[in-house]
Structure 1
Amino acid sequence: MGAFLAIALEWCAQAKSKVVEMQALQALKREVATLKKEKLKLEDAYQASLVEIRKVEEAATLRLREADQKHADLLGSMAHLQAEVAELRVVAENSRALEVKLGETEGELAAKTEALNLLQAENDKFQAEVNKLQVEKEFLEKQLATKDSKIEELEKANQDLLNDMAGTFDEGFKEALAQAT
């Protein structure tokens, strides 16, 4: 009867140990669930950021195309005006009236050059914004990768704990069976 009582006490101790292990397992499960929720939130934020980035990129691309077209138009106009200026300089030697027109054309050229410079500055501004959004995108991707690896570690620890518990129960049962025999 003493051996039977010893087995019962050992089973009770093992059961208490397993309850503590189950509580630790449940805490790990709760932490995994919390991390999964955080991951989902991060993924949602990441997707929303991607949508915003795409919108900004599309708008920037459209404005860049418009700026490029204006730039090309201005370059064409500028080349045309420069040719006109050269012609007017030759003719200006013969006519004072043509000198006045030359001055007007040079003024137009200066205004268009200034407009071209403004478009270039705006183009640089959009490029800086696209670069900033790219950096934010990379940061969110790194943060998401970190959360994924932590979830994988917790899930592996959870599986290891389950395997240990199963082995302990099996060994306890075999030992009790051997003692009972």
Structure 2
Amino acid sequence: MNLSSWRQSLFELWHRPPSGYRPGWTLGQVRRDLQGLDFSPHSTVMGTFRCPQSGLEFTLVERPQAQFLMHIVVCEWCLRVPSDRPGQARIVLRHTGAIRRQGVAARLVAGEPAEWQPLLHSLCNDPRLLGELLPLDFKRLELRRDEQGWQVRLEHFGASEVVNRLPGFRRYIRLSVEQRAALLGSFTQLYALLREF
């Protein structure tokens, strides 16, 4: 076995789906949680949701994550916001507060600080956006800016599946009514805000 075939085998082993992963099952559960939204499938593990009232459109992709004797299937939510302005940036958002959520912190990971300072200020201080983001239970929320515009990428604590092999169990953590409202409200406010930048 030469070095390149050894690397290829290692890559395939590392990136293969975990044992017991059912592609598309978690996405089907999320579709139930998001009843009333239009859905267009792209593949077994990916589809686009559209809100008929607001026209808001976002994509959802299953992401299986293997761990010792278990795996988690999280969903990555992606909202695209078109923009004609040039510039690249990557911003990470997180909740602040040790015990209770007190606000939102925005950190510029890539980009020119002076160029994006007004956006960072708005992300942390816009009252309508904070009203939606503070109750939202997210693990990761990232804003990326490229030639096509903005991409909002979010991983929620809910809308995910936990599968354990020892002891054997499966559990879907549903997206509650409150979290659904906070998620759609956050996307709506982020879309409106990012269109200005």
Q: TM-score, normalised by structure 1?
A: 0.21
- Bigger Rg, which one: 1
Greater relative contact order structure (CA < 8 Å, 6+ sep): 1
Q: TM-score, normalised by structure 2?
A: 0.20
Structure number having the greater helix percentage: 1
Structure number having the greater strand percentage: 2
